[in-house]
Amino acid sequence: MVNSLTLALRDDVLYLDLHRDPDAEAGTVATLAMQTEVEILDRVRTEELLPNGRTRPIFWFRVQAQDVNDATVEGWVNQRDLFVESRTESTQGRIVNGTPIEEWTLTHIERMVNDFRFGDALFNTLLLIIIILPVQFVLAITMALILHSQIKGSTLFLYIYTIPLGISDLAAGLVWYAFFTQRGFINSGLNHLGLQDNPYVFISAENYGWLLTAIVLAEVWRATSIVMVIVVSGLQSIPREYIEAGEVFGASLWQRIWHVILPILRPSLQVALILRTILAFQVFAVVVAITGGDVFTVLANETYRWYDQGDAGFNNPNVAAAYAGFIMIISLGISLFYLRAVRTQEEANR
């Protein structure tokens, strides 16, 4: 965590020291940043001794430029640190080498915020959380209550509910992608029933609603069982006498759930909320499997895009770390909110 934030807030800047004389051992008179344009005032040719005892010609250039403080400075630069078109004729050059110096900077965060995909990624991530979490918790609590009631066949329900636990994120995305493609299960079923002649294109940039629906269905199917397992473990700690007492006093099923079961389940729900929210911020493989990650993007996808060194990646670990740190800070803030909002009566009285 610390390394991620450090990478997002620090930058290795290359600075080159200008020498007083055309000699690597000479003192320095100024400092220039990498890529600084310089004017060549003079040049000398010297001989450099190689490890094998031979010598080779090497040029030193006397240059003039604006330093990091916008002051005009002059000094000598070795040819290895300067790009010139001709070592004997060029009058202009550019600094291309130097010593890395770490500096605190907000440049990477500014680049993240100004990224043209940042707004869409943040909006889509928050929208998925707002939709998925309530649906998952309603389904998970319902499934857990069915199992807890020990009705006939509830054990079979448990096995069915927990099947998605053994499926990876990517596999879950591919399963639901198979439903929504032009030759997928939905189009095939509609065509078989004679309800359509041409397949409907669900997965496209124009059908944002269907993209969102496919991702929500995949995430709900994949991760609801995680919440259910936590809720079931919490239900096991509720004494049956409490529920039976509610029945004796004439409480309806909804009243027993709202006034007896849910208050006692608060610690379990707190854990489930924190865990599921953190995992929702990290949703990545499902989005990439269904949409490709281009027409519909999320924060985790943009983190990978900036870190990736492939053709589609930007190869900037600093901006990727800024995205990762942003996800971490939001997750931490929401977790603290859950810890305050979903508390037991004993915790509230402390």
- Give, in degrees to the nearest 5, the angle at Cα 54 between 48 and 57: 35
59-68, 99-108, 215-224, 269-278: least confident range = 99-108
pLDDT (mean) for 126-130 = 93
Judged on CB neighbours under 10 Å (0-12, 13-18, 19+), 83 is middle
Query: What digits encode the pLDDT tens for the residues 147-181?
Result: 877 777 777 777 777 788 888 888 888 888 888 88
Q: Nearest to residue 216, comparing CAs of 312, 87, 148, 125?
A: 125
Judge contact between 229 and 163, C-beta under 8 A.
no
Name which of 301, 346, 318 is nearest 107 in CA terms: 318
Distance CA 216, CA 286 (A): 10
Say if CB 189 and CB 219 are below 8 A apart: no
Instruction: Tell me which of 266 and 123 has the higher pLDDT.
Output: 123
Q: Which residue has the higher pLDDT, 241 or 30?
A: 30
pLDDT tens-digit series, residues 322-334: 998 899 889 889 8
φ/ψ of 30, rounded to 5, equals: -165, 175
**In the structure, what pLDDT confidence band is assigned to residue 343 with cuts at 50, 70 and 90?**
low
Q: What percentage of residues in the chain have a pLDDT greater than 90?
A: 21
Q: Quick one: pLDDT band at residue 119, thresholds 50, 70, 90?
A: very high
Give the pLDDT score at 345: 53
How many Cβ atoms from other residues are within 10 Å of residue 330's Cβ?
18
What is the mean predicted confidence (pLDDT) over 267-291?
Answer: 88
The torsion defined by the Cα of 301, 304, 308 and 312, in degrees rounded to 10, comes to: 10
pLDDT digits (tens, 9 = 90+) for 240-273: 777 777 777 777 778 877 877 888 888 888 888 8
The whole-angstrom separation of Cα 114 and Cα 112 is 5
135-153 per-position pLDDT tens digit: 999 988 888 888 877 777 7
CB 228 within 8 A of CB 163: no
Tell me the pLDDT band of 52, cut-offs 50, 70 and 90.
confident
SS3 78: strand
* pLDDT at 313 (0 to 100): 58
- Could you state, in order of their start, the residue ranges of all structural domains in the chain? 2-103, 111-348
Q: Does the pLDDT of residue 22 top 60, yes or no?
A: yes
> What is the per-residue pLDDT across 204-230, written as a single tens digit (0 to 9) for each?
888 888 899 999 999 998 888 888 888
Residue with more model confidence, 63 or 254 = 63
> Is the CB of residue 75 less than 8 Å from the CB of residue 63?
yes
For the residues 1-15, what does the mean pLDDT come to? 72
pLDDT value, residue 350: 54
| Crossing angle of helices 317-341 and 2-9, rounded to 10° | 130
In this predicted structure, the answer to whether residue 187 has a pLDDT above a threshold of 60 is: yes
pLDDT at 42: 93
Q: For a pLDDT cut of 70, what percent of the chain falls above it?
A: 93
The residues near 224 (Cβ < 8 Å, ≥ 6 apart) are: 136, 139, 140, 143, 161, 164
Q: What is the pLDDT of residue 107?
A: 83
Architecture category of domain 111-348 in CATH: Orthogonal Bundle (1.10)
The pair of three-digit structure tokens given for residue 199, joined into one six-digit string: 């397949």
Give which of 112, 103, 116 is closest to 322, Cα–Cα. Answer: 112
Distance in angstroms (rounded) separating the CA atoms of residues 59 and 177: 62
- Give the DSSP H or E segment for 49: strand 37-49
Higher pLDDT: 349 or 187? It is 187
pLDDT score at 264: 82
